[in-house]
Amino acid sequence: MAEKKINLLVKVWRQPSTTSVGSFVDYKISVSPDSSFLEMLDEINNDLEKKNLEPIAFESDCREGICGTCGLVINGQPHGPIPKIATCQLHMRNFKDGDTVWVEPFRAKAFQVMKDLIVERSGLDKIIAAGGYISVNTGSIPDANAIPISKERSSIAMDAAACIGCGACVAACKNASAMLFVSAKVSQLALLPQGQPERTRRVQNMVKVMDELGFGSCSNTYACEAECPKGISVKNIARLNREFILANVKSDNIEA
Amino acid sequence: MNWLFRSLNSSIGKKVIMAITGISLILFLLVHLANNLTLFAGPSTFNTVVKSLDSIKPFIRVIEVILALIFIFHIFNGVRLWYENKIARPTPYAVNGSSKNSTLLSRTMIHTGSIIFIFLVIHLSTFWNAFNFSDLHRTHSYYEFTADMFSNVYYSIFYIIAMIILGFHLNHGFQSAFQTFGWNNNKYFPLVKALGFLYSVLMAVAFSSIPIYFLLIGGN
């Protein structure tokens, strides 16, 4: 029996470079419902290359939802219509025959389009470099459970650590705010004993860099939580606010 | 004090200003409503209440200045945040999927806020102005003036619409303030949301009940 395919009109944002003007280009494709969204784009690209045309530039790496590299806005939603998955985990069976599918890059002042669907997300790395780490001396492997921590606390920290840094929160937010990302990173370390020595400095520096990079402010619409492929909770944003307010009030450093 | 300005100028600081001023205005509305509801007790009660407030005018003036500052900070900061957040996304999406991930009320705070601002200007230029700087000062017939104002159908309908929109604004603002202060957990946040909803419905219904009452009884 011949495989049943669905026919789609895919409108893809094409932009040769950061400075050039972009526009949507229509592609008609007949695709297996079992293929993934990125495989569908691969098929379009195969076709384009056969015709000696420039393929669509998009990012992907692990294609199993853990690296955070892929990230497209599909029909107005980052990572597409299905909650709690990354673009690479979206399958064509979620679309109907005859559908029109709009594919856009993540849009934010801090995420400039480099080419087609690829955006510059190094801003998120800069925020991490500002404090999203712990400083420890290397040495021999520490004993397991040498540092006591409750199961509840480590679970909440682990949930925050599930953030893959894809930037969908920024893409989903009407203000292009990176608060969910920053809050997940701040929470993950603020909840653990290892994160305590740099706790104050960390939140102050990360928020400072976040603001400098031109991300917007949070207005509590919670769109980020709804679109996050890892289901990071906005309770982390509440924790970030608390951490930031307390850090600024309690820290003796008037320069920070 | 530089650290304080820097803190309040940060993205989180601006949210904190919105939340503190917002909560202050939420509390103010309760006091304002309590005063308004004395209208239902009849002309003599309401006129006595307003007259007694008039007799402690210097104190009331101080409160009014503080209130004005709270309003100014809330409005200025709100507009500033809206503008900065607009700039944070220079190119809009071709397909707007926001209805699938957030509520309409949470996305339209600037719009509901702007309508409330227009209401505020009209409200101050009619009621506040008349209660403070007109003949009412001598006659103390505040009830009669109010009844007269609300006997105008258009004016009353404008008031009622503005109060419904105020309810929309408060419904998002109430829980938003708690989130901004960092007070969100599984136990009390559902309670905060429910309380905010009840509060905003109460405000919209109770404030609207006054023009509706005067429309029904037909002025004086």
* ipTM of predicted complex: 0.93
Residues of chain A contacting residue B182, judged by C-beta atoms under 8 Å apart? 238-243, 245
Per-residue pLDDT, B69:
98
A73 CB near a chain B CB, below 8 Å? yes
Report, in this order, helix, strand and coil percent for chain A, each rounded to 5: 35, 15, 50
Q: What is the CATH number of the domain that holds A19?
A: 3.10.20.30
Q: Are residues A127 and A86 in the same domain?
A: no
Q: What is the pLDDT of residues B161-200, one digit of tens each?
A: 999 999 999 999 999 999 999 999 999 999 999 999 999 9
Q: Do A108 and B89 touch (CB under 8 A)?
A: yes
Domain assignment present for residue A140? The answer is no
Per-residue pLDDT, A216:
96
Q: Per DSSP, what are the bridge partners of residue A104? A: A73
Per-residue pLDDT, B206:
98
The continuous run of DSSP H or E covering A31 comes out as strand A23-31
Number of residues written out for chain B: 220
As for how many domains chain A has, the answer is: 2
The parent domain of residue A32 ranges over 6-114
Per-residue pLDDT, A184:
98
Question: Which of B3, B84, B180 shows the shortest C-beta gap to A220?
Answer: B180
- Is the per-residue pLDDT at B141 higher than 90? yes
- What is the DSSP pairing of strand A100-104 with strand A77-78? unpaired
Q: Which residue, among A220, A224, A244, would best test binding to B if mutated, counting the most B CBs under 10 Å from its CB?
A: A220
Per-residue pLDDT, B89:
96
Residues of chain B contacting residue A172, judged by C-beta atoms under 8 Å apart? 101
Single out the residue of B184, B178, B16, B191 nearest to residue A156, CA to CA: B184
pLDDT in tens, chain A (256 residues): 567 899 999 999 999 999 999 999 999 999 999 999 999 999 999 999 999 999 999 999 999 999 999 999 999 999 999 999 999 999 999 999 999 999 999 999 999 999 999 999 999 999 999 999 999 888 888 888 888 999 999 999 999 999 999 999 999 999 999 999 999 999 999 999 999 999 999 999 999 999 999 999 999 999 999 999 999 999 999 999 999 999 999 888 877 6
A166 CB near a chain B CB, below 8 Å? no
**Gap between the Cα atoms of B178 and B174, Å rounded:** 7
Q: Are residues A125 and A203 in the same domain?
A: yes
Per-residue pLDDT, A2:
63
A193 CB near a chain B CB, below 8 Å? no
Domain assignment present for residue A208? The answer is yes
Which tokens sit at A3?
A: 């495989």
Going by pLDDT thresholds of 50, 70 and 90, the confidence category of residue B138 is confident
Q: What is the CATH number of the domain that holds A156?
A: 1.10.1060.10
Per-residue pLDDT, B219:
52
Per-residue pLDDT, A256:
64
What chain B holds in terms of domains, given with CATH numbers, is 12-85+106-217 (1.20.1300.10)
Q: Chain A residue closest to B11 (CA)?
A: A217
Residues of chain A contacting residue B94, judged by C-beta atoms under 8 Å apart? 11, 13, 24, 102, 104
Going by pLDDT thresholds of 50, 70 and 90, the confidence category of residue B127 is very high
Q: Do A210 and B175 touch (CB under 8 A)?
A: no
A243 CB near a chain B CB, below 8 Å? yes
Which tokens sit at A54?
A: 């420039």
- B109 vs A1, higher pLDDT: B109
Question: Which of B84, B93, B180 shows the shortest C-beta gap to A241?
Answer: B180
Residues of chain A contacting residue B107, judged by C-beta atoms under 8 Å apart? 174, 221
